[in-house]
Structure 1
Amino acid sequence: MIMTTLSLPQTRQLHAQILRTTLFLDPTRLLSLYANHLCFSDADRLINSIQHPDVFSFSTLIHAYSKLGRFTEAITSFSRMIFNHGLLPDTRLLPSVIKACGGLNDLRGGKQVHGFSVASGLSQDSFVQSSLLHFYVKCHHMSYAHKLFDVMTQPDVVSCSALVSGYAREGSVKEAKMVFGMMAEMGIEPNLVSWNGMVAGFNQSRHHLEAVMMFQNMHFSGFKPDGTTISSVLPAVGDLEDLLIGVQIHGYTCKQGLGSDKFVVSALIDMYGRCSSTMEMSQVFHEIPDKDIGAWNALVSGFARNGLIDDALNAFNQLRNKELELNVVSWTSIIACCSQHGKDIEALDLFREMQLYGVKPNVVTIPCLLPACGNIAALMHGKAAHAFSLRTAISDSVYVGSALIDMYANCGRIHLARTCFNRMRVHNIVCWNAIMGGYAMHGNANEVIEIFHLMEKSDQKPDCITFTSLLSACSHSGFTEQGEQFFNRMYKDFGIKPRIEHYACLVTLLGRAGKLKEAFSTIENMPFEPDACVWGALLSSCRVHSNIKLAEVAAKKVFELEPNNPGNYVLLSNIYANKGLWKEVAKVRDLMKSMGMKKNPGCSWIEIKNKVHMLLAGDVSHPQMIKILEKMDDLSMEMKKLGCLPVTSFVLQDVEDQEKEHILCGHSEKLAVVLGLLNTSQGSTLQVIKNLRICGDCHDFIKFVSKFEQREIFVRDTNRFHHFKDGLCSCGDYW
């Protein structure tokens, strides 16, 4: 008893005294003392100094390693025991070794231990059997686990619960229920752990309705749910968006006095957020006397999920002012919120702050940040995030890999996107769609089709997103016949019924090729009511081909479906203006004014020296605007010398030609390109993102600049990427 209370210095003094006086002491006791003090280096030195260590000595060390999650050291000690000293384990040691194999997800090592236990006859021990079953469940090899369960000498409630929860987590509903039913036949009564394993498992495998039904069955069977049960079922209720059941469970938690359980409270806040009940969500949060980090994180996520960005940022800033320590979930939630709702620069700033706080991003944070980098072409920030993922060995994740593909494609570096794709060890449907979507955005239809064929050869079944990329790519490149063939193959070859977005792509494909009658016929023969996207696709095509009659038909429909979208009114106004129908232009603009709508201003972003600059059309507030306009005048003069005159037809206002030229100079993409010329070294690449479709005059201007200034220039507008080089554009002037 006295020995177990010795401090570390006292333990070392005792060890020294033994060495000096040859006092006998069982080394196992000394090893145990070192292990209790987590001094494994001393313990290792001690066991190495023993001339003939026994199994008990190694067991002490391996038990301690396994208990503390130091699984690699446990396996190393076990190997040393067998191969260096020729010692064989017993039934008390094997469970710790098996646990270590499970902790490392080392299926091969676990199987070897299993084989040894069979060969040595130790596999008949109930503790060994139970450990092996838990190991196979942890390694997701349910067939092995079930075979072992079938030959167990004494299956108990622990083994049954492990098998049941394993099947539930894997989404094997039938098997989970079968084993659960077998428990009664074997005379084993399910306990709270059994029920919780089923509820939590079904929730984790996204069988949300099964999780809720299991919770109800548990209640009807007379088992009293605890905090673990409630916090497991509420996420399932939230994903089902079943507010009525959520409210009932909330009432139950209050009656059972579980309202102070911090996990239950966080789950309630999350559930109300998922059910779009932000008022109830806020009420639950404000009623908590002691708010922990989990509750704050759930509140921020709830606001973000419902598009309440300002509320989410406000809650996060309040959290920062508290004495609570922000964790990776806190930062990841707010970064994702900003990235998903157009606050890309804020997302980048928050990521930098997160690192300054000393919080390490994880495998979820990076995929949340990378879309923000791609949205505003912040290539340097994206590369930094990529480098971080490589240093921390999370780049192998399919989610990180897919996000990197998207980021590089959105930043105009499709070759880097392809490199990321090629280096991935495993490709799932998300990865295939990401690289196909990237090539489609760049108008590289041949590459998209090539990857689609590679995907077919790899036995990866395409989905609806795959065909959206295929149809979009064909549309950008004018591959009308191929696009129609892919549309027809969707259901014929793959059983995928075309959705509304596929019909919108088909209308764009036909409309852009000048087949407006066929496009209109496609809309009329759709198996469901066309939405604003479909009519909007036709309206856009009418602008390209100046078909006013059909444009008015499409505009009437799209105004009914999206009465508050200013972009549709501007599009019709531009079609009229292009034909010089200024009275009709005035009518549309008066209608917009009466409805309180304004045209979205043209806006462009460019990253220069790791800083993102935003320029608005006609805005003169940038500190370098005088230099920008002077440089633009110089370039315009050089264009005119070569006979390249401004295309004033793209100014959709009834003003003199001189004024039209002045207006064209204020287009945001021109301002961004010239800003880049002024602030980067000769020959370096420029990248610009625009929130609207690039106009023809700007397209001609940037083609000229790319040759005159010897620059590669990438411009991404709302439709696609334009890669300007040597006076040519990758789109072939077809956009």
Structure 2
Amino acid sequence: MVSQCIIPDNYVIPSGLKACAGVFSPEMGRQVHGIAVVSGFATDSFVESSLVHMYVKSSKIMEARNVFDRMTERNVVCWSSMVSGYAREGCVIEANEIFEGMRSSGVEPNVVSWNGLIAGFSHSGNTLESVYTLRRMHCDGFMPDGTSIASVLPMIGEMEDLRMGIQVHCYVLKMGIGDDKCVLSALIDMYGKCGCTNEILNVFEGMGTMDVGSCNALLTALSRNGLVDKALEVFRDFEKQGVELNVVSWTSVIASCTQNGKDIEALDLFTEMQYAGVKPNSITIPCLLPACANIAALRHGKAAHGFSVRRGISLDFYVSSALIDMYAKCGRIGDARSCFDGMFRRNLVCWNAILGGYAMHGKAEEAMKIFDMMQKSGQNPDFISFMCILSACSQSGLAEEGWKYFNSMSEEHGIEARMEHFACMVTLLSRAGKLEEAYAMIKKMPSEPDACVWGALLSSCRVYANVGLAEIAAERLFKFEPSNAGNYVLLSNIYAAKGMWKEENSVRNTMKRIGLTKNPGCSWIELKNKVHMLFAGNKSHPQMMQIIEKLNKLSTEMKNSGCFPDTNFVLQDVDEQEKEHILCGHSEKLAVGLGLLNTPPGYPLRVIKNLRICGDCHAVIKFISGFEGREIFIRDTNRFHHFKDGACSCGDYW
């Protein structure tokens, strides 16, 4: 129109400004603003109102204010736009000043004005202001509508104020707005955040008709409360009922599985999602990748990476950091670094992801270089960064460097040490054999040590078989975590390692009396795009006979070479032959045996274990890596072990 020398008038310009607001383009909006000024329509009240709305929608609140201050006629729409704009930007004082200014100028706010204030505060995270404004609205004689309620309920959920949430629910029923789908979804969300699972289901079951929004709210609420099985059941019911589930639905249930230990189910759902024609987005991929990382499903992780590249979302901060973490946890620290180096911009999450990866692989030198690079780039470390660098120092026994970083937290960065940092230092000192120094540090802590700190000490007492300190740490842990079987097992193992069978039996009997059972050793290995789970002592795998036969042959070769099973790691009072038999059934050995049977010579093996690798398995897998000519990666609860040519990357220090 402009190119044909037709001058837009005061009817066309507002339409152009509305379009600019619709595509969030303040640059084009400024050009239209310039046309309005040149053509003499900039002072038209309709144009001015449209300019205020466009700048507010584009988050250019100061430019909106400049136009607003020059207006001679301000109607309720303009006032409401400014109130909403300031509230959405988190400018509480300015939003309330504009709101009161509207009243003092003789313009009475309407429901839209109030809703703009409530929704704006909710959007900017000003929880208390949002709730307070709803109360004020009601006290001033305005009846909150569905928009008001749907905006404030998530904030009540964030506050976990169940009493207030019930009051609002009662208001919804009293005013007859319980059929509003947005209100019902917000109620489900609120009850979910307050942990009221029965109320979640009651609200949902009371709905007349279901829409995808309320279905998604239910899935999210169930997932938040750890009800993953119920979330999966509900999801399948929605499918059967023909509900048109969208990307949010699929992402919610995938995230639920990932967060609650159902990693294989998460991978299967991702495949189903694509078959259903629903395209994953930049939220779905970071929800899926931790599942790949948890069970070292590298092929699935690489497929998700390829998908994110094709979709153009691989450089998204959250996708990139999840990819870095996935590759690191799958034993591909080089690929993790490649993802990191390929980023044009990096946020703190990405820096911490690569730092954590190097720490997990015991690469302290590389971690320290990354830590320095991060600060030189202008990115300040946070408490997670220091946890990663202290963990890296711990994996390599760098006590002096660990102290340097620990002290620099408060002295150079103003970060107060948390329990996790003290736990890292306790681990660092005690694993380096400085158990008494670690205990002295615990006693000097500014606040009472928690289970994280005592657990670090107890774990290291296992390495050095220090019964005295182990009993002290275990006594504290039994009070902090009375239902954590792992603490009892650790103490039992320490007694067993010292041959203190009476004390070992006493701990085991205590576990039986209070109903605690030891978590079985379990390992995962991905073969031909399928993840296999193997449990210690369990013979249910269809190839178990061949696995045992393969391991027995390797055991014979190992003995012929002068190496013998280290039966000290069998913490049971049985004869030597039985001890050898027990060692053969450790889950990481079974996983390696399965990998050897089902992959070609020279193919690398990647195994994840839910417990710490024992010394005998470590020695055996070192031998296998040299004898079979394989690279073998084992990730236990402590770190990564990269076995190659008969040696391990940990240098036998773990």
Q: Does the Cα contact within 8 Å between 2:7 and 2:39 map onto a contact in 1?
A: no
Match status 1:714 vs 2:633: yes
Paired residue secondary structure (1:683): coil
Q: How far did residue 86 of structure 1 move?
A: 4.5
Residue of structure 1 aligned with 2:155, choices 227, 236, 241: 236
2:241 corresponds to: 322
Cα 1:448–1:595 shift into 2, 3 Å:
same
Describe the superposition over 1:448-476 as per-residue Cα deviations: whole angstroms up to 9, x where unpaired.
22222222223323222122112111111
1:730 corresponds to: 649
Residue of structure 2 aligned with 1:554, choices 436, 457, 473: 473
Aligned-partner Cα distance in 1 for 2:467–2:561: 35
Match status 1:529 vs 2:448: yes
Residue of structure 1 aligned with 2:231, choices 297, 308, 312: 312
1:5 corresponds to: none
Q: How far did residue 88 of structure 1 move?
A: 4.0
Match status 1:389 vs 2:308: yes
Residue of structure 2 aligned with 1:429, choices 345, 348, 352: 348
1:615 corresponds to: 534
1:512 corresponds to: 431
1:491 corresponds to: 410
Paired residue secondary structure (1:606): strand
1:287 corresponds to: 206
Aligned-partner Cα distance in 2 for 1:384–1:733: 34
2:188 corresponds to: 269
Q: How far did residue 259 of structure 1 move?
A: 1.0
Aligned-partner Cα distance in 2 for 1:517–1:207: 48
Describe the superposition over 1:520-550 as per-residue Cα deviations: whole angstroms up to 9, x where unpaired.
1121121222111111111011111111111
Aligned-partner Cα distance in 1 for 2:82–2:581: 74
Kindly indicate whether structure 1 or structure 2 has the higher relative contact order, using CA contacts under 8 Å at least 6 residues apart. 2
Describe the superposition over 1:468-490 as per-residue Cα deviations: whole angstroms up to 9, x where unpaired.
11211111111111112222222
Q: Does the Cα contact within 8 Å between 2:292 and 2:301 map onto a contact in 1?
A: yes
Structure 2: gaps (5+ residues): none
User: Aligned AA for 2:652?
Assistant: D
- Point out the more displaced range, 90-99 or 526-535: 90-99
Cα 1:449–1:166 shift into 2, 3 Å:
farther
Paired residue secondary structure (1:123): coil
With the length of structure 1 as denominator, give the TM-score of the two structures. Answer: 0.86
Cα 1:116–1:704 shift into 2, 3 Å:
farther
Equivalent positions of 1:445-456 (< 5 A) are 445-456=364-375
Aligned-partner Cα distance in 2 for 1:701–1:659: 17
1:357 corresponds to: 276
- Point out the more displaced range, 379-388 or 536-545: 379-388
Cα 1:105–1:450 shift into 2, 3 Å:
farther
Equivalent positions of 1:38-49 (< 5 A) are none
2:143 corresponds to: 224
Aligned-partner Cα distance in 2 for 1:499–1:384: 38
Aligned-partner Cα distance in 1 for 2:191–2:273: 27
Aligned-partner Cα distance in 2 for 1:642–1:103: 75
Aligned-partner Cα distance in 2 for 1:313–1:663: 38
Aligned-partner Cα distance in 1 for 2:203–2:462: 52
Cα 1:450–1:171 shift into 2, 3 Å:
farther
Describe the superposition over 1:21-58 as per-residue Cα deviations: whole angstroms up to 9, x where unpaired.
xxxxxxxxxxxxxxxxxxxxxxxxxxxxxxxxxx4xxx
Cα 1:416–1:89 shift into 2, 3 Å:
farther
Residue of structure 2 aligned with 1:702, choices 621, 624, 632: 621
Aligned-partner Cα distance in 2 for 1:196–1:283: 28
Q: How far did residue 624 of structure 1 move?
A: 1.2
Aligned-partner Cα distance in 2 for 1:428–1:165: 30
User: Aligned AA for 2:329?
Assistant: N
Equivalent positions of 1:28-177 (< 5 A) are 55=1, 82=3, 85-177=4-96
Cα 1:495–1:626 shift into 2, 3 Å:
same
Residue of structure 2 aligned with 1:181, choices 87, 97, 100: 100
Paired residue secondary structure (1:723): strand
Cα 1:169–1:710 shift into 2, 3 Å:
farther
Q: How far did residue 87 of structure 1 move?
A: 4.2
Q: Does the Cα contact within 8 Å between 2:525 and 2:532 map onto a contact in 1?
A: yes
Q: How far did residue 264 of structure 1 move?
A: 0.8
Describe the superposition over 1:266-303 as per-residue Cα deviations: whole angstroms up to 9, x where unpaired.
11111111101112222222222333333332222222
Residue of structure 1 aligned with 2:362, choices 417, 438, 443: 443
Q: Does the Cα contact within 8 Å between 2:131 and 2:152 map onto a contact in 1?
A: yes
Paired residue secondary structure (1:216): helix
Cα 1:440–1:146 shift into 2, 3 Å:
farther
User: Aligned AA for 1:730?
Assistant: S
Q: How far did residue 113 of structure 1 move?
A: 3.2
1:417 corresponds to: 336
Residue of structure 1 aligned with 2:215, choices 292, 296, 301: 296
Match status 1:638 vs 2:586: no
Residue of structure 2 aligned with 1:568, choices 462, 487, 496: 487
Equivalent positions of 1:645-664 (< 5 A) are 645-664=564-583
Match status 1:539 vs 2:458: yes
Paired residue secondary structure (1:522): helix
Residue of structure 2 aligned with 1:203, choices 105, 118, 122: 122
Aligned-partner Cα distance in 1 for 2:563–2:496: 23
Residue of structure 1 aligned with 2:176, choices 257, 264, 272: 257
Equivalences, count: 654
- How much is the aligned-residue C-alpha RMSD, in angstroms? 1.8
Cα 1:171–1:446 shift into 2, 3 Å:
farther
2:289 corresponds to: 370
Paired residue secondary structure (1:124): coil
User: Aligned AA for 2:422?
Assistant: Y
Q: How far did residue 575 of structure 1 move?
A: 0.8
2:496 corresponds to: 577
Residue of structure 2 aligned with 1:469, choices 388, 398, 401: 388
Q: How far did residue 346 of structure 1 move?
A: 0.8
Q: Does the Cα contact within 8 Å between 2:219 and 2:253 map onto a contact in 1?
A: yes
Aligned-partner Cα distance in 1 for 2:204–2:152: 19
Q: Which has the larger radius of gyration?
A: 1
1:597 corresponds to: 516
Q: How far did residue 108 of structure 1 move?
A: 3.3
Describe the superposition over 1:186-230 as per-residue Cα deviations: whole angstroms up to 9, x where unpaired.
433222222112211221222211111111111122211100110
Cα 1:655–1:478 shift into 2, 3 Å:
same
- Point out the more displaced range, 90-99 or 682-691: 90-99
Describe the superposition over 1:379-398 as per-residue Cα deviations: whole angstroms up to 9, x where unpaired.
11112212222222222322
Q: How far did residue 707 of structure 1 move?
A: 2.1
Q: Does the Cα contact within 8 Å between 2:605 and 2:632 map onto a contact in 1?
A: yes
User: Aligned AA for 2:460?
Assistant: S
Q: How far did residue 153 of structure 1 move?
A: 4.1
Structure 1: gaps (5+ residues): 1-54, 56-80
- Point out the more displaced range, 128-137 or 331-340: 128-137
Paired residue secondary structure (2:42): helix
